[in-house]
Copies of this chain bind each other. A is one copy, B any other.
Amino acid sequence: MSTVMSLRHALLGLLREQPASGYDLMQIFKLSLGNTWPATQGQIYPELGKLADAGLLSVSEQGARGRKEYALTEAGLAEIRHWLLETEPELHPRSESLLRIFLLGALSREESENYLRWLTEASGKEVATLEAIEATSADWPDTDLAEYSGLALEYGKRLWLMTEEWSAWAADQVAARTKAKQDQAERDPAQEEEDQK
């Protein structure tokens, strides 16, 4: 009950704001937490059941169409606090993006540069998206979730801005080295074939 499995904590955290059904939570995941912690039905419904069994949630209301509304219990709140305060954050998660960088050597220099240029563009779009969200956030309700969402939003903006700058720099680096190799090849044609490989 302690290792990773943060879906559990995401659900508890959302239910801290207000009771909700599995269906409601799916919508919320799509709109708000989806980028941060994707989750599908196949996970949410069983997990809600387990959490209720464990006493971290209670079924606060049974509605139409078999709707079950869950509410956070004291034990549930304690579990969130325990996770935040007493378990160590994972500072080095698996990073597919970084892995791709490490493997870039398997491509030609042109292809690598293209990839990095594409990343620059994609990062710029992410920044724009987040700025658009920020613009609508003025009329958010004054809840804790909204306040801390604002901090998370700022983090996202800085992250993508950083990625945009870095990838532009990295693409330039690759391009510069391509050129250096070409110059070298002109000076010493015997090397040329090997460098192109």
Contacts and interface: CB of A to CB of B under 8 A. Distances in A.
**Of listed A148, A162, A166, residue having the most chain B CB within 10 A:** A148
Contacts of A83: 103
Interface residues of A, number: 63
A1 interface: no
The DSSP consensus for interface residues of chain A is: helix
Nearest to A126: B91
A133 interface: no
A173 B85 CA distance: 20
Interface string A96-133: 11111111111100011001000100100010000000
Contacts of A158: 162, 165-166
Contacts of A84: 100, 103-104, 106-107, 111, 115
6 contacts: A16-B106, A80-B106, A84-B103, A84-B104, A84-B111, A84-B115
